[in-house]
Amino acid sequence: MLRKTKTAILSLISAAVLCSCSQTAEPPKSDTAAYNRDVFAMDTYMSMKAYGENAEKALEDSEALILRLESELSVTDENSFIHKLNSSENGTAQVSDSAAEIIAKALEIGKKTDGALDITLYPLLKEWGFTTGDYKVPDKDVIDSILAGTGWENVSLSGNTVTIPEGYQVDLGALAKGYTSDSIISQMRTDGVDSAVVSLGGNVQALGEKPDGSAWRVSVRDPFAPDTDMCIVEVRDKAVITSGNYERFFTDDSGKSYWHILDPEDGCPADNGLVSVTIIGDSGLDCDALSTALFVMGKDKAVEYQRREGNFDMILVTDDKHILYTSGIDFTNISSMDAEVLSLD
Ligand code: AMP
Ligand code: MG
């Protein structure tokens, strides 16, 4: 029998921002007091903290935004655009602007990463049981036959019209939270907030800096002990987004673990030497797409990609317990692993 492991509780424990977040509490006494709001959506605990006189309205608006995006992007909600696409008879559907923007990014990063990011793996994720928690290790011939009906390059997007081949199913789980944190930050700006931080299941995005002028201190989990922190990064106006093998996994009788990020090459959990990838950059959507893709690609290709593209920082953790990070971040190691700066050549 397979031992099932869920990590929703871990998501709650490590909100990943080093500040306490709770439901909106006492009315703030000054402009710099914090307002907090917690929401459970997209199968994740989400915490938001905003400062200033416009914070309360911004949090209200942000909560409504999260719920709207969840209903548009969910792969399971029968009314979502993605569900409509996946169940449409001719493989074509009109999707919302949000879904179209995410799909465009997924295709762009799919191309740039030689298909490491592939939004058509949903039938395989179902077969492994990652969509239901009813886990199993499928037979290789079953994996191969499902894999034959996948491929990001067969998704076409024209304006808001998406077309997929018969039998294909799309899932935006690798990018949806990053898009959502981008959207919350821009909602906060629109509402007149200039200091805020959100954590969507440990994926953090910061607006501006703390009211006292200091940077946000964001913790990243130790993939070998996911209820403890591994390092702190200090950021202003950045997203800090992690993909890790500890986020959703199960273990078979022999003790081997299988996790939810699949390698489109063989349809099995991506096992290319990395156990966690954190991307730090300006756009939550880009960081989320890249955290998943670089996890799949493994260390050497991830480093090569970062050097080539150069517009983000990253923290990689290898399966033999080394931390590697790029020099553009303010990084403090608080783990017992060694941490090495990636050289630029
Ligand atoms: P993240 O936590 O952002 O790395 O996203 C993981 C989620 O993306 C999984 O739960 C799946 O829904 C989906 N997924 C898994 N493997 C891939 C892949 N290679 N490309 C795109 N999406 C994937
Ligand atoms: Mg991702």
pLDDT in tens, 292-320: 999 999 999 999 999 999 899 999 999 99
Is 288 near ligand 1, meaning CB less than 6 Å away? yes
Rounded to the nearest angstrom, the distance between the alpha carbon of 293 and the centre of ligand 1 is 8
Q: Can you tell me which atom of ligand 1 is nearest the CA of 75?
A: 12
Output the pLDDT for position 31. 63
Percentage with pLDDT > 70 across the chain: 90
19-30 pLDDT tens trace: 433 344 444 445
- Alpha helix stretches (DSSP H) within the chain: 8-13, 55-73, 81-87, 97-112, 122-128, 140-147, 176-190, 284-297, 299-309
50 exposure class (CB count in 10 Å sphere: 0-12, 13-18, 19+): buried
Output the pLDDT for position 24. 46
- Does residue 267 carry a pLDDT above 90? yes
Rounded to the nearest angstrom, the distance between the alpha carbon of 218 and the centre of ligand 2 is 18
First to last CA, the chain: 48
84-139 pLDDT tens trace: 999 999 999 999 999 999 999 999 999 999 999 999 999 999 999 999 999 999 99
By the CB criterion, residues less than 5 angstroms from ion ligand 2 are 174, 288, 291-292
- Does residue 228 carry a pLDDT above 60? yes
How far is 257 from 259, CA to CA, in rounded Å?
Answer: 7
Instruction: Work out the mean pLDDT of the chain and round it to a whole number.
Output: 91
How far is 93 from 90, CA to CA, in rounded Å?
Answer: 9
Which pair of tokens denotes residue 162? 């998406």
- Does residue 13 carry a pLDDT above 90? no
Rounded to the nearest angstrom, the distance between the alpha carbon of 175 and the centre of ligand 2 is 5
CB 146 within 8 A of CB 27: no
Tell me which residue has its CA closest to atom 3 in ligand 1: 174
Q: Can you tell me which atom of ligand 1 is nearest the CA of 177?
A: 3
Strands 322-325, 338-341: pairing is parallel
pTM value is 0.92
Q: Can you tell me which atom of ligand 1 is nearest the CA of 243?
A: 4
3-class secondary structure, 23 = coil
Is 199 near ligand 1, meaning CB less than 6 Å away? no
147-179 pLDDT tens trace: 999 999 999 999 999 999 999 999 999 999 999
Mean pLDDT to the nearest integer, 204-218: 97
Is 292 near ligand 1, meaning CB less than 6 Å away? yes
Output the pLDDT for position 8. 35
Amino acid at 126: K
Strands 262-263, 268-269: pairing is antiparallel
The gap from C-alpha 65 to its chain's centroid, in whole angstroms, comes to 18
Is 73 near ligand 1, meaning CB less than 6 Å away? no
Phi first, then psi, for residue 326 (nearest 5°) are: -85, 155
Is 181 near ligand 1, meaning CB less than 6 Å away? no
Output the pLDDT for position 22. 37
